[in-house]
Every structure is written in C-alpha cells, then in structure tokens.
Structure 1
Amino acid sequence: MIEFDRVSKTYKQVRALDEVSFTVREGSVTGFLGPNGAGKSTALRVLAGLSRATSGAATVFGRPYVELECPGLQVGTLLDAGAQHPGRTGREVLTLGAMLLGLPRSRAEETLELVGLTGRESGRAVGGYSLGMRQRLGIGHALLGRPKALILDEPANGLDPQGIQWMRTLLRSLADSGCAVLLSSHLLHEVEQIADHVVMIGRGRVLAQGTVAELGGGRGLEQTFLDLTATADRSAR
C-alpha cells in the first residue's frame, strides 16, 4: 500500500504541496492527475525519498521509502525516463540494475522481452533511443525486482498508440496480480481507460478523489477537472 498522510512541501515561499492525503491499495491502479506544475512530480519525489516533506508522511507498505530493506525489490519507480547513461546499451542498463538487486542476469533478458525491446534495440546505446524506447526501458528498470508497488511519473510520454495500449495492458495485469500502481499523468482520457481510482491535484492541493464513475458523473474526467481547477483558481485569488 502507498499512502500520503497530510504531506506538505514548501520551497522558500512557495507551497508546492498542501496537506496531500490519499491511499493506493494493492491490486489497484490510481491515476494521479493534474496539469504541469500542479505538484505531481514533487509528490512522487517525496514518496521516493528524493525530497523531504516539510510536514506529513508518505509511506510504502507502512514505511518511508528510504527505510525499506532493498527498496528496488519492493517498489519500482520511473520518475525520469531520460535518467539513463547515454553510452550504455539498454541491455547493459538492465543487466547492471539486476546485478545491483542481487538478481541473475537472466532477469534482464526477461525484462527486455517484457517491455518489447528487441535484440537489436537492446544492443543500441541509450543515447540513440527515441523517447518511447526510453520509456519502455525505464518501465523495465522499474519492473526488474518484481515489485509489489509501482510509482510511475508520466509513463505514457513518447509512446505511440500501440505503446500506450501495451502499457495499459501491462499495468492492468500487474494490478490484477496484486500490485499497487500509482500513475501520474496529465492525459485525462488515458487515465480513464485504466485507473480504478483517481486523485485530482491542482496548485499542490487534492481537489477531488474517487472512482472514474464517481468523479466523471457522466461528463468525463476532463470537464470535471476543468470545473475543479476553475473553482480552485477563484479561491486562490
């Protein structure tokens, strides 16, 4: 289980997160929705231990990420698909990742097949990858340890329609097998297709949360989010 409990984060005079609270349960996909600058990436960085909350707590399986024993075997993260050494091949990236987790090299090969990087593509330097290929590699890196929780920041970026369908099917199967999936995105329509639960954030605050049916109310998530954002903007003035 992934949990945010009244998490706030302040940078100098800017309140990037304001009392953010929500839960991602095992066996479900939670879509974390908001425009650029809403606070999504900041929240995920706090969750992954890369940034310290000003107040509140973000935990995975009841503990802060940094306190987990070998977190890569429990939590898979994709926060920046470009954060791979450009001179290494895709196969080298995943092989090194598997070795650091104490896994056999064969796990890298299994994961390359899972994310659809062919033999030729896996042997190319990452610096020559398209954004979609980097996304597939990043998702593969997150899945190396067969984690029971996934934290993914905009994983659909750069994927073509076939790649998005592949990702949707993959994440759904992982959730159905018991994984807790937290998926950050600004693509409202895409989240409608996969999420069991949706958390909408704007200006660092949770504006609404619930199932797609509860939030859409027949109008769709996009109109609901536009209405909520407009209300939040008026309140901030």
Structure 2
Amino acid sequence: MIEFHRVSKAYKGVRALDDVSFTVRPGTVTGFLGPNGAGKSTALRVLAGLARPTSGSATVLGRPYAELERPGYEIGTLLDAGALHPGRTGREVLTLGAMLLGLPRTRVGEVLELVGLSGKEAGQTVGRYSLGMRQRLGIGHALLGHPRALVLDEPANGLDPQGIRWMRELLRGLAGSGCAVLLSSHLLHEVEQVADHIVMIGRGRVLAQGSLEELGRGRSLEQTFLDLTADTDRSPA
C-alpha cells in the first residue's frame, strides 16, 4: 500500500505540496492527475525518497522509502526514462539492476520478454532507443524485483497505440496480482480505461478523489478534470 498523510513540501517559502493525503490500495490502479505544475512530480519524488517533505509522511507498506529494507522488492519506480545510461545496452541496464537486487540473470530475460525488448533491441545501446523503447526499458527496470507497489510518471510518453494497449494490459494484470499501482499521466482517456481510483491535484492540494463514477457523475474524466482544474495556478512545482 502507498499512503500520503498530510504531506507538504515548500521550496524557498513556496508550497509545492499542501496537506496532500491519499491512499493507493493493493490490487488497484490509482490515476494521479493535475495540470502542469500542480505538484505531481514533487509528490512522486517525495514518495521515492528523492525529496524530503516539509511535513507529513509518504510511505510504502507503512514505511518511508529510506526505511525500506529491500526497496527494489517493495516499490518499483519510473520517474524519468531519460535517466537511463545511454551508453549501455538494454540488457546491460537490466543486468546491473538485477545484480544490485541479488536476482538471477534469468530474471533479465523474463523482463526483456515482458516489455517487448527481447530481440535485437536488447543488444542496442539505450542512446539509440526511441522514447517508447526507453519507456519500456524503464518499466522493466521498475519491475525487476516483483515489487508490491509501482509508481509510474507519464509512462505512455512515446508509446505507439500498440504500446499503449500493452501498457494498459500490463497495469491491469499487475493490479490483478495484488500490486498497488500509482499512475501519473496526462493521457486522460487511457487513465479512464485503466484506473480504479482517481486523485486530482492543483496548486499542490488535492482537489478531489474517488472512483470514476463518484467523480464523474455522468461526465467524462476529461470534462471532470477540466471543471475541477479550471481555476488552478500552473506555476512550476
């Protein structure tokens, strides 16, 4: 389970997050939505231990990231596919990750197959990958340790329609196996098809949360999003 409890984060006196609370339960996909600069990336960085909250707590399985005994087995994250080493091959990236987690090399082959990079792509350097291929590799890296929670920031960027369908089926399958999935995306139509629960933020605060039915009340997710975020500030966060 992923839980944000009254999380606030300020940078030089400016609040990027303001009293954010929500829960991502096992076996569900939670869509995390908001305009540019709403605070989504800041929230994910706090959860992944890359930024310290000014107050409140963000936990995975009841613990902050820094206190997890085996974080790679408990939470997988993809925050920036562009951070993958461009000079290493896809197979090398996953092999190094598997070594750090103490996993057998067979797991690398399994993950390459899972993300559709098991052919010649596995031997190409990441610098030659398209954005969609880097996204697939980043998702694979996040899944190496069979984590119980998964956090993805804009994972569909660069994916073609076939890739988006693959990702949708992957996330539903992971949730079906008990994984808690937190998905940040601007592709509202895709979120609408895959998410069980929605959290919308603006100006660093939670504007609304609930099931699609509870939030929509007959409206599309896009219309609900536009209505709720119409007056929010889009300053960078």
Instruction: Mark yes or no: TM-score above 0.5.
Output: yes
Q: Does 1:4 align with 2:7?
A: no
What is the rounded CA distance, in whole Å, between the counterparts of 1:231 and 1:36 in structure 2?
13
Cα RMSD (Å): 0.9
What is the rounded CA distance, in whole Å, between the counterparts of 2:118 and 2:75 in structure 1?
26
What is the rounded CA distance, in whole Å, between the counterparts of 2:44 and 2:188 in structure 1?
18
Q: Deviations over 1:99-132 (max 9, x none)?
A: 1000001101110000001320010000000000
For structure 1, list consecutive stretches of 5 or more residues without a partner in the other structure: none
User: Within 5 Å, which residues of 2 pair with 1:50-129?
Assistant: 50-129=50-129
What is the rounded CA distance, in whole Å, between the counterparts of 1:41 and 1:143 in structure 2?
20
Query: What is the identity, as a one-letter code, of the residue corresponding to 2:222?
Result: E
Q: Deviations over 1:38-70 (max 9, x none)?
A: 111100000000000000000000000110012
User: Within 5 Å, which residues of 2 pair with 1:125-140?
Assistant: 125-140=125-140
Give the conservation status (yes or no) of the 8 Å contact 1:2–1:24. Answer: yes
Quote the offset at 1:73 in angstroms: 1.0
Kindly tell me the number of residue pairs found equivalent between the two proteins.
233
Quote the offset at 1:152 in angstroms: 0.7
What is the rounded CA distance, in whole Å, between the counterparts of 1:129 and 1:231 in structure 2?
39
Quote the offset at 1:229 in angstroms: 1.4
Quote the offset at 1:232 in angstroms: 4.4
Match for residue 192 of structure 2? 192
Could you say what secondary structure the match of 2:164 adopts? Answer: helix
Match for residue 43 of structure 1? 43
What is the rounded CA distance, in whole Å, between the counterparts of 2:96 and 2:192 in structure 1?
35
Could you say what secondary structure the match of 2:166 adopts? Answer: helix
Could you say what secondary structure the match of 2:208 adopts? Answer: strand
Match for residue 156 of structure 1? 156
Q: Percent identity?
A: 82
What is the rounded CA distance, in whole Å, between the counterparts of 2:186 and 2:75 in structure 1?
23
Give the conservation status (yes or no) of the 8 Å contact 1:28–1:181. Answer: yes
TM-score (norm 2): 0.96
Match for residue 214 of structure 1? 214
What is the rounded CA distance, in whole Å, between the counterparts of 2:151 and 2:47 in structure 1?
9
Could you say what secondary structure the match of 1:158 adopts? Answer: coil
- Which runs of 4 or more aligned residues in structure 1 lie more than 2 Å from their structure 2 counterparts after TM superposition? 230-233
Query: What is the identity, as a one-letter code, of the residue corresponding to 2:25?
Result: R
Could you say what secondary structure the match of 1:192 adopts? Answer: helix
What is the rounded CA distance, in whole Å, between the counterparts of 2:94 and 2:125 in structure 1?
12
Give the conservation status (yes or no) of the 8 Å contact 1:36–1:186. Answer: no
What is the rounded CA distance, in whole Å, between the counterparts of 2:111 and 2:174 in structure 1?
14
Match for residue 15 of structure 2? 15
Quote the offset at 1:13 in angstroms: 2.6
Quote the offset at 1:230 in angstroms: 2.3
Q: Does 1:142 align with 2:142?
A: yes
What is the rounded CA distance, in whole Å, between the counterparts of 2:113 and 2:231 in structure 1?
46
TM-score (norm 1): 0.96
Could you say what secondary structure the match of 1:82 adopts? Answer: helix
